[in-house]
Amino acid sequence: MSYVSLENSEGFLKCFEVIAEDKSCIVSDSVLYFSGKTGKGFITVAGIHTGIEVLAVNLSQLTDDLTIRFQPSSDAASYILHFDEIEVPNKGDNDVPVNTVGTPAEKGHSVVSIADAARGKTIVYPRERMIRSLVVRVRKASLDHLIKDFDAGTIGAILDSPDSPASLTWPITFKYRLLLNDFMAEIVQHPFRELFTIRNVSMLMEYLLQQLFVMQKLSDDGNSLSTQDTRSLSRVEQHLCLHYKTEFPGIEKLSRISAMSPTSLKTKFKRYYGETLFGYYQKNKLEHARKLLDNKVPVKVVATEIGYSNPSHFTLAFKKEYGFSPWHYLNPH
Amino acid sequence: MTMKFQDPDQDIAVKALQWQVLSLPVGLKAAILKGPADRMELTLPNFREEGTTISFINYKGDVRIGTGHRPGDKEQPASPGLGLMTVAGRPMSFRTGAAVPFAALVLFIPRAWAQLFMGANTPFRKIEQQLEEETNIITCRLGRRQLSLLSATLGVTGEPALSLLSLQNNALALLEYFLCNRHRSLLGVNPIADIENEDDLSLIREVESYISEFYCSDTFTVDSILKKTYTSYHRLNFLFKSIHGMTISEYIRNKRIEKSKEMIADNVKSISQIAYEIGYSSISNYILAFKKVYQITPGKYKKQIDSLA
């Protein structure tokens, strides 16, 4: 176990030295590469000079848990937003739900959370997992305006009240997953790093606010979900996201995964994620297809890649979702 | 710098002509405009600050971009789905003769913001230099993804806070695309080529680097390039011809023969050895190819070199 504390901006960079020594890593140009002995992947920081600090963690095969601790600091009027996706590698089509490791401290859970920096925060990255995580520190002043417009300060009130949990958490959705994927793939190489970072943070904020909005509405209607339900739904969601290349698993399998009845699964999923089970699966699938098309992969290859046996079926589905065919997507002019 | 937020009431404040000017939370300003315009003469909104603007436009019909102060001064035809970057304050206007549906998003980047978020990046400094010295407008064509972002930006409705954020996200994505695209075309400089599409250029660069890596291998074929880049033979050939003036196989042959010429000049290996080493499977093929390029057989060339030495 290793601890790193991040108290202020300088801490972000200083913590690198600590980790580097502890885990025998190479630091170059504010990117920390794990050499393979203690894990694979990288940790990097961005946006230090722009006031919105981002710590990006993209690691796998850690030999030991990595703990990052944000010291509580009274003067820093900021929020810590934390988005992470944690997968068990090589699970494949196994029926066992992926994040059963959810013991205390939400270890091994894929979550979005928001916490007040004044209370500090400890993040534990478990070993032998695939981890993609973004920790964003943003000034309260920046976010409050947006949040207040939204739910008249309820979130702020929850975070500020002394007997509340230290942070609010939700399970992540496929939008976050895609964003995290993209972010990790490009951040090290990107020619405009700060711009890229601020864009992604801004998008995360939008997703977060959308989610807050949904949660607020649910609790207003007296439909808020229990922790148990939230976990079950997130298992289903994760299953749908990971298996986008294969056929839709079918309601029976999903209800087994979630340990809910098919009917209540359907209703709750729709209420929480705003999409039907199949709609959600399909959206995620086509979003992957769109990404491939952006990379100039031909339509035929994309169709097979995301699991269509017939390209015309893919074309139809694509057209239904986006309003134009893949070919028109590639040739807009 | 922190994200700046203004009072929500002030967000939709300034109305310059028909532009709707919004302040985005990150500190940029955006002006949007949409609708059919008949015989318009549209200038960019005045942001009264130092910085750069990027205008993204889309329309159907015939639109001309003027860069002078008076109508008729220095006009150039626009094309639908275009991004135009210029220093704020320089004259730029869009003119149409007839009624056309026209939509535009103008993004204003204050100088301080640009310094903060992009100043540390060398590619941006290059772009800035270009903006100041060579030309006063940098253009870039938008892809489908960008076009749909643009139309989404111009059509946002819903929660006030959310719509402002999503507008900001789309605007930032467009900005990033613009800069990256510019950056890529700066990397692969080829002013002679009249290929407009930046993606095509980057494809050619990719193929070229692939060729220069593998052209000596005897298993190297044009087919393997096609498989690697997911392009058709005809498309690749077309692009190659318009850049290098020769087909892709001619390009590879020239590269091989050039290499062999150097090897002959080195005078270490025999000609048949060289032929095999640069990837020819028969010597007569090699000799024919050499003759085609230099109008002399490799043997004679070797003798010439020897007699000179």
Alpha helices in chain A (DSSP H): 9-23, 140-151, 154-160, 174-186, 193-220, 227-242, 251-258, 262-273, 277-294, 299-305, 311-322, 326-330
pLDDT in tens, A284-298: 889 888 888 877 778
Cα–Cα distance for residue pair B185/A260, rounded to 1 Å: 54
Q: How many other C-beta atoms can be found within 10 angstroms of the C-beta atom of residue B98? A: 10
The reply to whether A327 touches chain B by the CB within 8 Å rule is: no
For position A92, what pLDDT does the model report? 42
For position B182, what pLDDT does the model report? 76
The CA-atom distances, in angstroms, between B183 and each of A40, A58, B168 are: 30, 26, 22
The reply to whether B121 touches chain A by the CB within 8 Å rule is: yes
**Is there a contact between A202 and B25 if contact means CB atoms under 8 Å apart?**
yes
Give yes or no for residue B288 having a pLDDT over 70: yes
For position A72, what pLDDT does the model report? 67
- Decide which of A263 and B16 is more confident: A263
B82 → chain A, closest CA residue: A333
The tally of CA atoms less than 13 A away on the side-chain side of residue A112 is 21
Tell me the mean pLDDT in the region A220-234. Answer: 77
Cα–Cα distance for residue pair A15/A7, rounded to 1 Å: 10
Closest CB from A195, A290, A331 relative to B175:
A195
Among B26, B144, B162, B177, which would you mutate to test the A interface (most chain A Cβ atoms within 10 Å of its Cβ)? B144
Domain ranges, ordered by start, for chain A: 2-220, 227-330
**How does DSSP assign B49-87, residue by residue?**
SSEEEEEEEEESS--EEE-SSSTTSSEEE--SSEEEEEE
Classify residue A48 by its DSSP letter: G
The reply to whether A77 touches chain B by the CB within 8 Å rule is: no
**Is there a contact between A202 and B26 if contact means CB atoms under 8 Å apart?**
yes
ipTM of the complex: 0.75
**Is there a contact between B117 and A141 if contact means CB atoms under 8 Å apart?**
no
The reply to whether A124 touches chain B by the CB within 8 Å rule is: no
**Is there a contact between A192 and B179 if contact means CB atoms under 8 Å apart?**
yes
Give yes or no for residue B54 having a pLDDT over 80: yes
Closest CB from A50, A301, A331 relative to B117:
A50
For position B206, what pLDDT does the model report? 82
Estimate the crossing angle of helix A227-242 against helix A277-294, to 10 degrees: 40
Give yes or no for residue A197 having a pLDDT over 60: yes
**Is there a contact between B183 and A192 if contact means CB atoms under 8 Å apart?**
yes
As a whole number, the mean pLDDT across chain A is 74
As a whole number, the mean pLDDT across chain B is 75
- Over pLDDT 70: what percentage of chain B? 79
Using pLDDT thresholds of 50, 70 and 90, give the confidence band for residue A145. low
Chain B residues touching residue A297 (CB < 8 angstroms): 230
For position B136, what pLDDT does the model report? 67
Tell me the mean pLDDT in the region A218-223. Answer: 75
Using pLDDT thresholds of 50, 70 and 90, give the confidence band for residue B283. confident
Cα–Cα distance for residue pair B84/B105, rounded to 1 Å: 10
Give yes or no for residue B14 having a pLDDT over 50: no
User: What pTM was computed for the model?
Assistant: 0.68
To which residue do tokens 């007997």 refer?
Answer: A163
pLDDT in tens, B227-278: 888 788 888 887 877 777 778 888 888 888 888 888 888 888 888 888 888 8
Most confident of A156-165, A200-209, A216-225, B158-167: A200-209
Asked which of A86-90, A251-255, A259-263, B94-98 is least confident by mean pLDDT, the reply is A86-90
Q: What angle do CA B59, B146, B21 make, to 5 degrees?
A: 65
For position B159, what pLDDT does the model report? 57
Cα–Cα distance for residue pair A5/B101, rounded to 1 Å: 56
Classify residue B2 by its DSSP letter: P
Cβ A60 vs Cβ A41: under 8 Å: yes
**Is there a contact between B161 and A209 if contact means CB atoms under 8 Å apart?**
yes
Reported in sequence order, the residue ranges of B111-178 that DSSP labels E, i.e. its strands, are 138-141
For position A152, what pLDDT does the model report? 47
pLDDT in tens, B107-165: 888 888 887 777 777 777 777 777 776 556 777 777 777 887 887 777 765 556 667 77
Give yes or no for residue A28 having a pLDDT over 70: no
Closest CB from A50, A294, A301 relative to B145:
A294
Asked which of A7-21, A199-213, B205-219 is least confident by mean pLDDT, the reply is A7-21
The reply to whether B124 touches chain A by the CB within 8 Å rule is: yes
**Is there a contact between A199 and B173 if contact means CB atoms under 8 Å apart?**
yes
The alpha-carbon gap from B235 to the nearest alpha carbon of chain A, in Å, equals 13
Closest CB from A139, A194, A324 relative to B118:
A194
The reply to whether B163 touches chain A by the CB within 8 Å rule is: no
- Decide which of A134 and A24 is more confident: A134
Instruction: Report A:149-208 residues touching B (Cβ under 8 A).
Output: 149-150, 191-196, 198-199, 202-203, 205-206
The reply to whether B175 touches chain A by the CB within 8 Å rule is: yes
Domain ranges, ordered by start, for chain B: 8-187, 195-309
Using pLDDT thresholds of 50, 70 and 90, give the confidence band for residue A93. very low
For position B225, what pLDDT does the model report? 84
The reply to whether A49 touches chain B by the CB within 8 Å rule is: yes
Among B6, B23, B117, which would you mutate to test the A interface (most chain A Cβ atoms within 10 Å of its Cβ)? B117
Residues whose CB falls within 8 Å of the CB of residue A5, separated by 6 or more in sequence, listed in order: A11, A15, A69, A70, A71
- Over pLDDT 70: what percentage of chain A? 71
**Is there a contact between B118 and A195 if contact means CB atoms under 8 Å apart?**
yes
Most confident of A200-214, A272-286, B6-20, B190-204: A272-286
- The CATH class of B195-309 is mainly alpha
For position A24, what pLDDT does the model report? 65
- Over pLDDT 90: what percentage of chain B? 0
Q: Which CATH number fits domain A227-330: 2.40.50.100, 1.10.10.10, 1.10.10.60, 1.20.1250.20?
A: 1.10.10.60
To which residue do tokens 């290499």 refer?
Answer: B259
**Is there a contact between A191 and B180 if contact means CB atoms under 8 Å apart?**
yes
**Is there a contact between B118 and A290 if contact means CB atoms under 8 Å apart?**
no
Give yes or no for residue B185 having a pLDDT over 80: no
CATH topology for B8-187 is Jelly Rolls (2.60.120)
Closest CB from A51, A139, A193 relative to B121:
A193
The CA-atom distances, in angstroms, between A194 and each of A46, A221, A275, B19, B275 are: 7, 40, 33, 29, 51
Q: What angle do CA A168, A172, A174 make, to 5 degrees?
A: 160
